[in-house]
Structure 1
Amino acid sequence: MSLRVRFALVASLVLVLALSLVGVALDTANQRSAVTGLRDRMESYVYQVLAAIDVSESGSVIAGGDLGDPRLNQPGSGVYVHVHGVDDHWSSPSSLGLRVPELQSMAPGESVFRIPSQNRPYFAFQYGVGWQLESEEVRRFTVSVLIDPGELERQTAAFRRGLWRTLALAGVILLLAQVATIYLAFRPLQAVARDVARVESGDAPALDGAYPAELEPLARNVNRLLATEKANQERYRNALDSLAHSLKTPLAVLRAGLETREQAAAAPLRKAVEEMNRLVTTRLQRAAVSARRTMGRPEPVEPVVRRIIASLEKVHSRKMIQAEVIIDADAMFCGEERDLMELMGNLLDNAFKYGARRVRLTARSIPCEGGRPGLAVRVEDDGPGIDPVQWPLLLERGVRGDERVDGHGLGLAIVLELVTAYGGSVDIGHSELGGAKISVDLPGT
Structure 2
Amino acid sequence: METGRIVRRGILAFALVVAVALLFIDPGSGNRIQQAGAALIDADFPNTSLTASTLEGDSQLEEAALLPMVRLLAVEPGDTLAQILIDEGAASSEAHAAIDVLKKLFNPRDLKSGQEIEVTLQPSPDGMSATKFMGLSFEPDYTREISVTRGEDGGFTAQEIKKPLKHEVVKAEGRVDSSLYEAAIKAGISNNVLTTMVRVLSYDVDFQRDIQEGDSFTVFFERWFDDKGRPVHDGDVFYLSMTLSGKPLHYYRFKAADGLIDYFNQKGESVKKALLRTPADGARITSKFGSRKHPILGYSRMHKGIDFGLPTGAPIQAAGEGVVEMAGPNSGYGNYLRIRHTNGYATAYAHLSGFAKGVRVGKRVSQGQVVAYVGSTGMSTGPHLHYEVMVNGHQVNPLSIRMPSGRKLAGKELDRFNQARLDTEHNMAEAQSIGKLAVAPN
* Structure with the bigger percentage of strand: 2
Normalized against structure 1, the TM-score is what?
0.24
Higher relative contact order (CA closer than 8 Å, sequence separation 6+): 2
Structure showing greater radius of gyration is: 1
* Structure with the bigger percentage of helix: 1
